[in-house]
Amino acid sequence: MKHVSLLVVVLLVGCSPSWSEGPYEIYWIDGVKSLGFNIGDGAYIGRIDEPRVINANEKFISVYACPEGSCAYYYIDRIKDHKFAEPTEFVFGPYTHEAFSGLQQKLSLPELSAE
């Protein structure tokens, strides 16, 4: 019985999102990994596909992602974001490493180190 309990715990941990903070978390649909806004009951509003590195502070989320095989830097303005907003209002990018580094300093974005 002890082994069954351990197996259940391992499976539950393995099924949980790999990153989450507040309403934002990683989820998978049809094999596509996405960062999204959790609106409850297992429903998400997608923000950025194929995130690889994520870091957040109170105002922003910095993301290094590779949607459609093209890797770049993005950021989300958490202050402007809400479940009824259009992504173009608060998801910015794609940026090169150089351009994103400049924005990090200017806006105090969370630091990222790409894979």
Cα 88-60-94 angle, rounded to 5 deg: 45
pLDDT mean over 93-102: 97
pLDDT mean over 6-15: 37
* Exposure class string for 47-76: b at 16+ Cβ within 10 A, else e: bbebbeebbbeeebbbbbbbbeeeebbbbb
Helix, strand or coil for residue 9? helix
The C-alpha atoms of residue 38 and residue 22 are separated, in whole angstroms, by 9
pLDDT > 90 fraction of the chain, expressed in percent and rounded: 72
pLDDT of amino acid 6? 36
Helix, strand or coil for residue 52? strand
Give the pLDDT band of residue 63 (cuts 50, 70, 90): very high
Pair of tokens at residue 112: 């990222």
pLDDT of amino acid 105? 96
pLDDT of amino acid 88? 83
pLDDT of amino acid 115? 56
